[in-house]
Amino acid sequence: MGKLGYRAANVGLRDLNLGYDAFMKRIKGAAFPFISSNVVQKDTGEPVFKPYVILDVEMSA
């Protein structure tokens, strides 16, 4: 995803199929943030990821 120029990625249901720990290992060191508004810590209810990211994007005609 980094080579494709991703600037952010949303965590989807299938991303967690192999489990939380496996997913966290896989994204460690990513050059862009992962976001999700509905993935929370089971014991605390605290969000695991930031719910959003604001990116400045230049557009050309």
Q: What value does the mean pLDDT of the chain take? A: 91
Two structure tokens written together for 55: 């990116």
Q: For the residues of 3-46, what is the DSSP string, one character each?
A: TTT-S-EE--GGGGTT-HHHHHHHHTT-SS-EE-SS-B-TTT--
Amino acid identity of residue 40, one-letter, is: V
4 pLDDT tier (thresholds 50, 70, 90): confident
Per the structure, the count of domains in the chain is: 1
Average pLDDT of span 15-34:
92
Q: Is residue 60 part of a domain?
A: no
> In angstroms, rounded to a whole number, what is the distance separating the alpha carbons of residues 14 and 3?
21
Average pLDDT of span 16-31:
92
Residue 23 pLDDT > 90, yes or no?
A: yes
Average pLDDT of span 35-43:
93
Average pLDDT of span 27-39:
93
Its domain, for residue 43, covers: 1-55
Q: Is residue 4 part of a domain?
A: yes
